[in-house]
Structure 1
């Protein structure tokens, strides 16, 4: 009797826990879906209204925002219903359409991320040649190529697979891609090509970008240090040259004064207003001062 009572008490509590988990999952799913939709709508509105944002690099971000917006509008809500209901409540045609749109947008999102990685890599490693060739038309062509590859890779096979097999093998209450479930090698190869290979390339590209940025930072730091060193050396050389000129000027002034004193003490009358000796001293000092000035100018040019 106690066992039956415990079972009776357990069933409502288990149902209540399941209901709470489903409710919490529904709230989280709706929140994430709305967050995805609103965030990407804001990105597209900003690109449309602000002319300064309409750059070539941001075209790739616009394409990525469009892919994620479609995922938030179509893929995530239907996926949430499928998970919470634990079965597919809609038609087989809607199942195939949902799968085709979901895989197309997801693959396009990954390829757009890869295009952004390549664009940043070439902008950093080849700033002159790549930026000269990068145009809006070429960017749009690359974006169209990413969407075209995704459109050819998934929707045709999803819609044509029942005709290829001769019948629909997916149960009416289930929704999945049959060729991914029936063959493990197809699943692995598809995951490698559609996801792991692009992600690996992105990691390698961003690692190369980081290495190039670090190398340029070190080169810039070394250049600044050399510039400061040359500036200090130039200022020091200019100071030495100016001191030498001043010293020669004082020496010449002393020699001139001494010569004039000597003449005055001797009592001799100079032939002109200045003595010949004083003129010779002035010529010597002028020659020395000119040499000092030339030395200073050569130092500054160096």
Structure 2
């Protein structure tokens, strides 16, 4: 808009007037593009955060400490999109604030407060994730303490207001200066570098460092647990391998006994035949399967022979007389 005013002051120069028309068209095109883009962003922010808030209201199972912090973040972002950005669209397009000084200060205060609260909500969510990973017992004990959770959320809003709110509302009274036009809506401290530096440290640098610290601690804790789990798996695998060394080993289809079992055999005691295979190669496993099949086939043959002998004996003992009554051997039972 300053560029347009400068061209308006050039007067009756024809070339300057043509250049003024080009610059004016470019400025209007940029304003239209920014308006459309801002409107699209508003729609996405409002719809997305509305879904989160509605899900929290409908499903009672979501009402725990961690999800309350997510709800607080969704509320902050919803207000930023629905009020802060929405009111800034006509102001950006026209370059003039037409709602008065009082509403201007309220809008600026609300804008700074909600954006700062959004940043601190992310810090609170990161802290909650830190507790869930590094201090799981404490985190579990805090899940159902809704009063403490609500207190944390309220403190975020209070602190966010204190960073910028009093300065926005009282800057002109404290300093006694007003360097902005009536149709402009800007905070009075924007030209005071030391205040901007301090406030930016509180609403940007402090949240950034806090989020980085908590997430770094979470990452290091995950690496530490992964290393412990890997070491535990290796030690457990080594113990299982050590247990595989038994009193008997099978090598090339030959059963080898240890000296302890030989001593037991000399003492006429029956050892427990617990066979172990040291080698995990496919050939050794295949040999063991063949040996088991041969043992099973041998047992089946012995059982079949015993059954055949028993059947033959019973057939020789059983004699039928002409009347059909069975007689057993020489005892004449039933004859």
Q: TM-score range by the shorter chain?
A: 0.7 to 0.9
Q: What corresponds to 1:141 in structure 2?
A: 151
Distance in 1, Cα, partners of 2:271 & 2:91: 96
- 1:82-231 pair list within 5 angstroms: 82-134=91-143, 135-166=145-176, 168-181=178-191, 183-231=192-240
Q: Unaligned 5+ residue runs, structure 1?
A: 253-280, 297-302
**Counterpart Cα distance in 1 of 2:256 and 2:146:** 62
Give the deviation of 1:110 after TM superposition. Answer: 1.1
Aligned-residue offset at 1:143:
0.9
Aligned match of 1:32: 41
Partner Cα distance (1:68, 1:166) in 2: 34
Maintained 8 Å contact 2:84/2:111: yes
Superposition TM-score, scaled by structure 1 size: 0.75
Q: TM-score, normalised by structure 2?
A: 0.68
Distance between the aligned counterparts of 2:244 and 2:66, measured in 1?
A: 46
Higher relative contact order (CA 8 A, sep 6+): 1
Q: 1:222 to 1:74 in 2, by over 3 A?
A: same
Return 5+ residue gaps in structure 2 as ranges.
Answer: 1-12, 277-335
Shift of 1:236: 3.4
Farther-moved stretch of structure 1 (73-82 vs 188-197): 73-82
Distance 2:82 2:151 in 1: 26
CA contact (8 A) 2:163 2:199 kept: no
Displacement of 1:169 in angstroms is 4.7
- In the alignment, the residues of structure 2 paired with residue 225 and residue 189 of structure 1 have an alpha-carbon distance, to the nearest angstrom, of 53
Note the alpha carbon deviations across 1:249-268, whole angstroms, 9 max, x for none. 9x95xxxxxxxxxxxxxxxx
Q: 1:186 to 1:12 in 2, by over 3 A?
A: closer
Counterpart residue number, 1:79: 88
Question: Normalized per residue, which structure has more strand?
Answer: 2
Matched residue count: 257
Asked if 1:49 corresponds to 2:32, the answer is no
CA offset at residue 200 of structure 1?
1.2
* Structure with greater proportional helix content: 1
Deviates further, 194-203 or 234-243: 234-243
Whole-angstrom CA distance in 2 between matches of 1:35 and 1:213: 34
Secondary structure in structure 2 of the residue aligned to 1:237? coil
For the aligned residue pairs, the C-alpha RMSD in angstroms reads 3.1
Q: Does 1:64 align with 2:47?
A: no
Residue 289 of structure 1 corresponds to 271
Find the aligned partners of 1:15 and 1:67 in 2 and give their Cα distance: 37
Shift in CA distance, 88/128, structure 1 to aligned 2, threshold 3 Å = same
